[in-house]
Amino acid sequence: MQSLFEFLSLSDPNVRYVVLGSVLLGCCAAVVGTFTVLRKRALVGDAVAHSVLPGVCLAFLFAGSKNPFVLLIGAFLSGWLSLTVIDYITRKTRIKEDAAIGLVLSVFFGAGILLLTAIQQSGNAAQSGLDKFLFGKAASLLFDDVLVFGGIAVLLLGLVWIFFKEFSLLTFDRDFAQAVGLPGRILELLLTTMTVLAVVGGIQAVGVVLMAA
């Protein structure tokens, strides 16, 4: 840790932003992702990462500019909607969850690519850089990006710290958690929302493919 601080103190500002942003992103994504993997829902992160693109494009069309907060809100709503659709398909049909994830992932990502292509061909100069949500821009993070990552990391790590016992019980023994009166559905909804937020926070930095991992 001391070596990291020494490195940051001697490096230029751009390197500091990249390192700090990557560390914050890695911390919150790893902690939340652990619960996702232990609950055997690892493909959910993949679905969310690919499903945020149409939300980003629609948010851009609505705002007319690349306001990072507006784009993040659009990405969050799109990712959350994709998980809702997956849950609905799984509960209301005979389609298994992995098939539902593949279906929703392909439809949302295809719609996102269609919208992104239409925006790029519209001639709007403000659209430059939207493709960074596909491939990321870790090497060019700004101080504002680090602030966003820091806020998301504090929120997610704080929630895990507060509800660690409940999340652990729900993850390893759901039946017992329900037997002792824990609101399993609400806790699952909270974990799902945290997963979406973690993915959305990292999309702009490392892109869809790496954030899925």
pLDDT-derived band at 3, boundaries 50, 70, 90: low
User: So what's the pLDDT on residue 184?
Assistant: 75
In angstroms, the CA 122 to CA 124 distance is 6
Q: What is the pLDDT of residue 161?
A: 92
Q: For residue 46, which of 210, 199, 212 has the smallest C-alpha distance?
A: 212
H or E element in which residue 194 lies: helix 184-212
CA atoms of 157 and 175, how far apart (whole Å): 26
Residues 6+ apart with CB under 8 A from 122: none
For the cut 80, the answer to whether the pLDDT of residue 213 exceeds it is no
pLDDT digits (tens, 9 = 90+) for 156-193: 889 999 989 888 888 888 778 778 787 877 888 888 88
**pTM for the structure as a whole:** 0.73
